[in-house]
Amino acid sequence: MRKITALSLALVLVTTAGCARNRSRGDLPYVARDVGTLYTTAKTRLDRGNYKIAAALFDEVERQHPYSIWARRAQLMGAFSYYLNKDYTQAIQGAQRFLSVHPGNRDAPYAYYLIALCYYEQIVDVTRDQKITAQAQDSLGELVRRYPTSRYAADARLKLDLVRDHLAGKEMEVGRFYERRGQWLAATLRFRKVVDDYQTTTHTPEALMRLTETYLSLGVRAEAEKAAAVLGANYPGTDWYERAYKLMGDHPAKPIAPLAPGEPVLASQPVQSIPGSEGGTPGAAAPGTPTPATPSGAGETPDGNTPSSATPDGGTPGSAGPSAADSPGA
């Protein structure tokens, strides 16, 4: 009986400890409080830097008093608290929930700006996937399109230019990778995308010079001349134009001798037989002249022109976003 009693007591203690542990990991315990006390407590926690607790208290305002005017403010303040705590997923969900319930509210521009900031803060270097960067571009563009005269539009336009420069840097990184491997067509498509879609970024001069390289490697000299001409017309004093000009001079056009009367346009190639086969079975024709190799340094990026491998300047969490004093509930 003593053994059974001790075993039962141990099971009760383990169950109690497990319940306490689960409760500590969950939401705040439901304690009915008036809306003023809840909101003031949450704002005090936010001012002290306890962002996680502040976000939970703002959510509690919305849970206990969903029809109060303070619940609308608490939604946005909770999203802002999650943003300061670098919990970007929760911040985006909170701001999107606010927009779905209050699409015409005067704080809607701030909600769009907060969503864009959450994506902007997660931008990674160009060697990694840029899905978050594309989402930041879409969010910033949505803010500028919907509220072009709001107090957040100017900063959104600046960040949009930096995001586009970052996406262009990703295309250049992939294009240089293909160029180093000798995959000229794939590299050309990447550099062409930079020139067509990101022509106002800082990567356009290099993209035009790389197009000159790849077109020459493909044997399409006319297109190489066009790329070099565009580079010279728009960026005449850059090192990229000097490299393209030298490259065109090193690979001059070779005139084609006219055909004699009666001479066939295509000369017949000798048929080779497969070694060891009986009867001289015809094999593949001899390969033609290989395409010219890319000049030295084609796969390298000159100093000072490497695409940025870090988040654009000004993207430090908390510095780009509005302070607690500028927030809707301040």
Check residues 196 and 33 and name the one with the higher pLDDT: 196
The model's pLDDT over 268-279, given as tens digits with 9 standing for 90+, comes to: 666 555 444 444
Of how many residues is the chain composed?
A: 330
| Separation in Å, CA 8 to CA 1, 16, 19, 22 | 11, 12, 17, 21
Q: How confident is the model at residue 19 (pLDDT cuts 50, 70, 90)?
A: very low
The model's pLDDT over 222-232, given as tens digits with 9 standing for 90+, comes to: 999 999 999 99
Q: How confident is the model at residue 324 (pLDDT cuts 50, 70, 90)?
A: very low
Q: Which of 280, 259, 278 is nearest to 270 (CA)?
A: 280
Q: Quick check: 76 and 322 in contact, CB under 8 A?
A: no
Span 53-64, average pLDDT: 89
DSSP lists the bridge partners of residue 282 as 273
**203 vs 134: CA distance, rounded Å:** 18
Q: Check residue 263 and give its pLDDT.
A: 78
The model's pLDDT over 98-120, given as tens digits with 9 standing for 90+, comes to: 999 998 899 999 999 999 999 99
Q: Please state, as a whole number, how many other Cβ atoms lie within 10 Å of the Cβ of residue 315.
A: 18
The model's pLDDT over 278-306, given as tens digits with 9 standing for 90+, comes to: 444 343 343 333 334 433 344 443 344 43
Check residues 14 and 220 and name the one with the higher pLDDT: 220
**9 vs 6: CA distance, rounded Å:** 5
Tokens matching residue 1 = 């009986």
| Separation in Å, CA 41 to CA 65, 81, 98, 326 | 15, 13, 21, 19
Least confident span in 9-13, 111-115, 249-253: 9-13
Tokens matching residue 130 = 């840029």
Tokens matching residue 247 = 């490259």
Q: Check residue 27 and give its pLDDT.
A: 55
Burial class (CB in 10 A: 0-12, 13-18, 19+), 104: exposed
